Amino acid sequence: MTDQPAQSADIAREHLRAAMVRLADGDAQALEQIYDATRVKLFGICLRILGDRKEAEDALQDVYINLWQRADRYDPTRASPISWLATFARNRAIDRLRTGKVRGGAVPVEEAAPLPDEAPLADALLVDAERTAQIHECLGKLDERTRTHISSAFFDGFTYAELAERADVPLGTMKSWIRRGLKRLRTCLEASE
């Protein structure tokens, strides 16, 4: 089971790589898929360099316009799609700094290169989205009572004692319901991986 996150990341990376190839072939829907998968990370890169939300938004728009025009330059044998796109975004942001049209708050050009990017990789965001969808799908397969109690405990922050009181059942009964529900949930999640 330790290989699952790595496999999911590989799948997400492959989906992004395939979208980049389709974009190079003129598939406009591929651009939307790429945007959805990468916008958070690329915006973070632009914002760190430019130091201004509006400037970062403008730079990000430039990234996707240029990507649409130059997608055929991406070589999947030389770089992962997210690495190539991150470099593309960084260069667009630095270009904006060099033109001198950036408002206050931006870092000097010399400091733009070493800024670390703490944002999760697009691959990780895709994996998280897939895992969230799997969890919700498996929750939907539980009976309503169990689904409600698990959701209340883990998403709404209710304690088992509060849930037992609300359902007017002994605490041990509530714990048993949730424990059995979690076992079914785990079985469903393992089967979907």
Distance in angstroms (rounded) separating the CA atoms of residues 163 and 148? 10
- Do both 147 and 113 map to the same domain? no
On whether residue 90 sits in a domain, the answer given is: yes
145 and 93 within one domain: no
Sign for the pseudo-dihedral over CA of 6, 11, 15, 18: positive
111 and 51 inside one domain: yes
Within 13 Å, how many C-alpha atoms sit on residue 99's CB side? 12
In the chain, the number of structural domains is 2
Look up the domain containing 160 and give its range: 141-192
Q: Is the distance from CB of 81 to CB of 20 less than 8 angstroms?
A: yes
Decide: 31 and 96 in contact? Cβ < 8 Å: no
Could you tell me if residue 42 is inside a domain? yes
Q: Has residue 79 been placed in a domain?
A: yes
Are residues 88 and 38 located together in one domain of the fold?
yes
Per-residue pLDDT for the chain (193 aa), expressed as one digit of tens each? 445 555 666 777 788 888 888 888 888 888 899 998 888 889 988 888 888 888 889 899 999 998 888 888 877 777 778 888 888 888 888 888 777 665 555 555 555 555 455 555 555 555 566 777 788 888 889 999 998 998 888 777 788 888 999 999 999 999 999 999 989 988 888 887 6
